[in-house]
Chains A and B, each alone.
Chain A
Amino acid sequence: YLDDDDHDEL
């Protein structure tokens, strides 16, 4: 399960 802040970087 991916947490929302796994993809929060640019």
Chain B
Amino acid sequence: MNLFRLAGDMTHLFSIIVLLLKIHATKSCSGISLKTQELYVIVFLTRYLDLFTRFVSLYNTVMKIVFIGTSFAIVWYMRYHKVVKQTYNKDEDTFKHYFLLLPCFVLALLLHNEFTTMDVLWTFSLYLEAVAILPQLVLLQQSRNIDNLTGNYVFFLGAYRGLYVLNWIYRYFLQDHRARWIPWISGLVQTALYADFFYYYILSWKKHEKLKLPA
């Protein structure tokens, strides 16, 4: 493991902590897309099927359990917590997230390394993660007021993807020289989806203004 990978994982973890902090401390999930959060539950469940069949490291095992657990906790808060669920912008969270599942699954059936349940579902989780942020970005675009914690959550999530790209570059040139096309391509697509958000996030930060995305 290199420093970029570790920094990427920590940024990912930090983004989740920021989101849970927002929900728990302010008892509000306004500006957060439940659809994106539900997609992340599916992403983690399908990717970490090997949790009990293959041991990589204690670090990997703990992180996998944390990602699965926190994603369930967030969805639980948004759906069932009696105060939090009332702050959910249901009418603005309009992205048809189910339409992302089938194309990602078909693509995973067509493009994978090995035709096994584990590998196809692992590939599916990579394709799905690449596009899972879309409902969240659409919701942000429709929100007049994006609060700081929501903006920071998406910023750290994007930073995590950027650091993973650096990790792959480092790994390829300085560690194992192995091409991993499926994670690379889906990771690059995912990172590119954040470009627009990053542009406006940095702009608002420079101008000391509240973040607002153009419609």
A2: contacting residue among B9, B56, B113, CB under 8 A = B113
- A9 and B183: CB pair below 8 A? yes
Q: In the complex, what's the smallest C-beta–C-beta distance from B21 to chain A, in angstroms?
A: 21
Interface of B is mostly: helix
Contacting residue for A10 out of B63, B114, B178, CB 8 A: B63
| B50: A residues at CB distance < 8 A | 7
B176's closest neighbor in chain A, by CB? A5
Interface residue tally on B, bucketed by range = 20 to 34
Q: Is the CB of B122 within 8 A of A10?
A: no
Interface size on A, residues (CB 8 A): 10
Among A4, A6, A8, A10, the residue within 8 A (CB) of B113 is A6
Does B5 lie at the interface of the complex (its beta carbon under 8 Å from any beta carbon of A)? yes
- Given A2-B113, A2-B119, do A8 and B60 touch, yes or no (CB 8 Å)? yes
Q: What is the interface of chain B, defined by CB distance below 8 A to chain A?
A: 5, 9, 12, 50, 54, 56, 60, 63-64, 67, 113-114, 119, 122, 164, 167, 176, 178, 180, 183
